[in-house]
Structure 1
Amino acid sequence: MKKLTIIILAIVCLSCNGSTEVDNDKRADFSFKIDTVFIDAGDELIFHQVGLSHSDLSKDQKRLFNFTPKSELEVIDLDSMKLLEKIALDKEGPLGTGWPYAIQVDQTGNLVFYGVEEVRFFSSDLSSMKRYQLTTDALSGLELERLSMFNPKITDGDFLFSIYQDYEQVPHGLAIVSLEDMNVKKIPLDLEGRIAPYTYTLGSDRKVFEMINLALFDKTLIISTAYANEALILDLATDSVTVKTFHSELTSDKKKVPNKTAAGTINELDDLMKEAKKDVTFGQFYFDKTHRILARFSQEMDRKIGDSLVFKNVLTVFDENLNQLAETLVPIDPFSKKFFKDGKLYSYVNVEDELGFAVFTFDF
């Protein structure tokens, strides 16, 4: 694994000395270049040992907020590429953050902290906080189900979107929670059929599967899985669902169904899941409001060199109606933290413990 990491970083570092121009494999009129930039932290240390998992972009796309285990909010200016400040926050109390597993900056500039069966909204200046319980008892309309514990949740105004599942941990559809009255509208989706073949069990009560991805732009919500080259597109204005399937010339279109999914020990479960990682895995969708496109990354094993695995990392570009435009191989981690800023795609990189980004500039 150490050797693989060195190889990956060496590839990323090739763009540190300039720009790497990459032609698209399917369309001659699409290309991009990659520059690697680093954040100036001064005398401070930026916490990014978990890959910026607790971070999000400000509404104006100028700042990145990164929440640390020390309950500090690191504020990074993406125009000057500098760490601006660290804001100390409380875990408990009227302005407590709790123990969030993810954060989001919503459309109004509120900072949203997602915890286990709760969500906390902080005003943009962090001077006030409102907490909502997301337990079955607190919600109306989930008598036989509950919101998925750690799957991504997205807020839009007074509404929260989440996957709902039964008490056997089987996902069934999308829940739209009205935060005004805590009523839940359920939109059934065939998630069980998409997830069940790839669900691993440990003993009799623990189920493990890849995260279901949610992406929101305008009044469209995209639901996707790691297992298939497709997207479930929900029109929030009409609640209608459209399923779009895609085809890749560079990877498989579906992950192979594993021969064995039951494990008796943690080590056995790890071995089964490592084997599954060799097959294709599809990431989430990212929306660029400047070019009105969406990007998605995927990965599949290309070959083995000795005991090491070499993977193909693929970028696929779609228009705003989810029509596939182009796909190409890219020399970056497909599942690192990513976001669009001013029409450029930023992808997190860690080079010798320095926080950096591989920045894609697209040319259509």
Structure 2
Amino acid sequence: MKRLFFYATLLVSLYSCETKDTSESTSQKNILENLTYSVDTVVVDPGNEIIDLSHGSRFSSISLDEKKFFLYDYSKTAINEIDLKTLELTNVYQFSREGPNSIGFNPPTMQPLSNDRFLFVSSLINVGTYFKSGELEKNLKFNFREIEGLDVDEGGLITNKAHISHDEKHLFALTNPYKTSSDVRLIIIDPEAKTGKSISLPAMISTLKFRVSLNTGKLFMGRGEGVSLNILNNKLFITSSANSDSYVYDYQTDSLRLVEFPHQLVAPSKSGEIKQEVSDENEFKAETAKFIYQTSFDDFLWDKKRQKYFRLGYNLIPQETPELEKKSDVFLFTYDKDLNLLGKKQLDQIDYRLESPFFKDGKLYSYVNVDDELGFAVFTFNF
């Protein structure tokens, strides 16, 4: 029996009383000033299957046409395919960690490609494209030294944050912060010619200082901010969780630009000095507290219907028991095609971080666990 549930709708009206950014033109309008929105919760029908949510939506993505949601099941080495129109589990694609079609042993990242194919990236182990049948299509495992023209060598394979362009002519990665600790560089590879180059990203370097590690020999703990890659509209977006400034690389014209934003609703970047290596848990907590309660930024999202970019920001709210810290102040920003900031608003009635958000048909979807069933919170924005 089909199980499709719509939970109670939350309707919210937000009226702005904030001071206009002094760095912006007085004629610029905040298009989110009188934002209203509703939130519906829907649950996916898994049929006779059980969808493992033990890892939440950590290993998930959506198809290029926004019609399917893919959730990787690490325990089964399989991809669950969800139809976002019918909200049903429609397929389970089996893969392998061993043999000639191995996707790698480390938990992979997954990038859906055209024609029912996927790019799998297993950190330090594997990069390759695969058919939905589980068969390896193309091996994209490259050693630093085999790429002609590449001016960086971290040893081993190029896997960190690896993505492939939609035309599959360019493979992208970032230098590993644990191997290249004083710079952040974008690695660009022509996989057919095995040629490449790297470009320094100075605006991302400050991200490297916001991390702490504890290693006693018996206990290892680590926490920090990171730099991400995301492909939208045939452009590569390079963003930091610690900084609102972003790079956009147009791989069709081989041009890179830095975009800086006049944010005043939130701080545009994290600040402070962090001791990166500590010797006990109390010191670890004290150092992480210096940056985790400052504003963090998510990746950019593209709303195809509105032809606008969106981005979410968060301020984690301290709790007496840090392990229970889940509540956050949530901020929404929107931009035009050229990334001009058009609007900003705190979502006062939302106090949690949205998991794996994406836009479909003008609505914002976010993963939720509903009594151990896969679900989505669906936001309808009106402005």
TM bucket (normalised to shorter chain) is 0.7 to 0.9
Residue equivalent to 1:321: 338
Of 67-76 and 329-338, deviating more is: 329-338
Q: 1: distance between equivalents of 2:15 and 2:133? A: 43
Matches for 1:121-270 after TM superposition, within 5 Å: 121-142=129-150, 144-146=152-154, 149-151=159-161, 153-156=163-166, 157-165=168-176, 167-191=179-203, 193-200=205-212, 202=214, 209-265=224-280, 268-270=283-285
Q: 1:250 to 1:353 in 2, by over 3 A?
A: farther
Deviation at 1:229? 2.1
Q: Please give the per-residue CA displacement for 1:108-147, whole angstroms capped at 9, x wherever unaligned.
A: 5421111124312113554552222132234333453347
| Partner amino acid, structure 1, of 2:346 | L
Q: 1: distance between equivalents of 2:355 and 2:277? A: 29
Of 99-108 and 257-266, deviating more is: 257-266
Q: 2: distance between equivalents of 1:172 and 1:306? A: 34
Of 149-158 and 56-65, deviating more is: 149-158
Does the aligned pair in 2 maintain the 1:314–1:334 contact within 8 Å?
A: no
Residue equivalent to 2:86: 80
Q: 2: distance between equivalents of 1:123 and 1:77? A: 19
Q: Please give the per-residue CA displacement for 1:53-80, whole angstroms capped at 9, x wherever unaligned.
A: 2222123322222221211221211111
Q: 2: distance between equivalents of 1:93 and 1:124? A: 17
> Is residue 9 of structure 2 the alignment partner of residue 18 of structure 1?
yes
| Partner amino acid, structure 2, of 1:57 | I
Does the aligned pair in 2 maintain the 1:197–1:257 contact within 8 Å?
A: no
Alignment equivalent of 1:41, drawn from 43, 46, 55: 46
Does the aligned pair in 2 maintain the 1:154–1:214 contact within 8 Å?
A: no
| Partner amino acid, structure 2, of 1:351 | V
User: Per the alignment, in what secondary structure is the counterpart of residue 144 of structure 1?
Assistant: coil
Residue equivalent to 2:96: 90
Alignment equivalent of 2:362, drawn from 340, 343, 347: 343
| Partner amino acid, structure 1, of 2:131 | S
Q: 1:63 to 1:252 in 2, by over 3 A?
A: same
Of 299-308 and 118-127, deviating more is: 299-308
> Is residue 131 of structure 2 the alignment partner of residue 119 of structure 1?
no
Q: 1: distance between equivalents of 2:159 and 2:283? A: 24
Q: 1:96 to 1:301 in 2, by over 3 A?
A: closer
User: Per the alignment, in what secondary structure is the counterpart of residue 284 of structure 2?
Assistant: helix
Q: 2: distance between equivalents of 1:128 and 1:168? A: 31
Q: 1:249 to 1:350 in 2, by over 3 A?
A: farther
Does the aligned pair in 1 maintain the 2:94–2:133 contact within 8 Å?
A: no
Does the aligned pair in 1 maintain the 2:210–2:291 contact within 8 Å?
A: no
Q: 1:135 to 1:128 in 2, by over 3 A?
A: closer
Q: Count how many residue pairs are aligned between Structure 1 and Structure 2.
A: 349
User: Per the alignment, in what secondary structure is the counterpart of residue 45 of structure 1?
Assistant: coil
Q: Please give the per-residue CA displacement for 1:10-48, whole angstroms capped at 9, x wherever unaligned.
A: xxxxx9312424447443465432211111123432122
Does the aligned pair in 2 maintain the 1:220–1:236 contact within 8 Å?
A: yes
Q: 1:24 to 1:225 in 2, by over 3 A?
A: farther
Does the aligned pair in 2 maintain the 1:20–1:35 contact within 8 Å?
A: no
Q: 2: distance between equivalents of 1:225 and 1:312? A: 19
| Partner amino acid, structure 1, of 2:91 | E
Does the aligned pair in 2 maintain the 1:106–1:155 contact within 8 Å?
A: no
CA RMSD of superposed structures (Å): 3.1
Deviation at 1:208? 6.1
Residue equivalent to 1:362: 381
Does the aligned pair in 1 maintain the 2:142–2:158 contact within 8 Å?
A: no
Deviation at 1:103? 0.3
Of 338-347 and 82-91, deviating more is: 82-91
5+ residue gaps, structure 2, are: 1-5, 17-29
Q: 2: distance between equivalents of 1:182 and 1:142? A: 10
- State the TM-score, normalizing by the size of structure 2: 0.79
Q: 1:303 to 1:181 in 2, by over 3 A?
A: same
User: Per the alignment, in what secondary structure is the counterpart of residue 243 of structure 2?
Assistant: coil
Alignment equivalent of 1:282, drawn from 286, 293, 297: 297
| Partner amino acid, structure 2, of 1:112 | L
Deviation at 1:192? 6.0
Deviation at 1:346? 1.0
Q: 1: distance between equivalents of 2:247 and 2:331? A: 21
- State the TM-score, normalizing by the size of structure 1: 0.83
5+ residue gaps, structure 1, are: 1-14
| Partner amino acid, structure 2, of 1:264 | S
| Partner amino acid, structure 1, of 2:87 | M
Does the aligned pair in 2 maintain the 1:153–1:161 contact within 8 Å?
A: yes
Does the aligned pair in 2 maintain the 1:280–1:298 contact within 8 Å?
A: yes
Does the aligned pair in 2 maintain the 1:101–1:150 contact within 8 Å?
A: no
Residue equivalent to 1:311: 328
Q: 2: distance between equivalents of 1:236 and 1:38? A: 38
Q: 1:24 to 1:137 in 2, by over 3 A?
A: farther
User: Per the alignment, in what secondary structure is the counterpart of residue 262 of structure 2?
Assistant: coil
Residue equivalent to 1:9: none
Deviation at 1:220? 2.3
Residue equivalent to 1:10: none
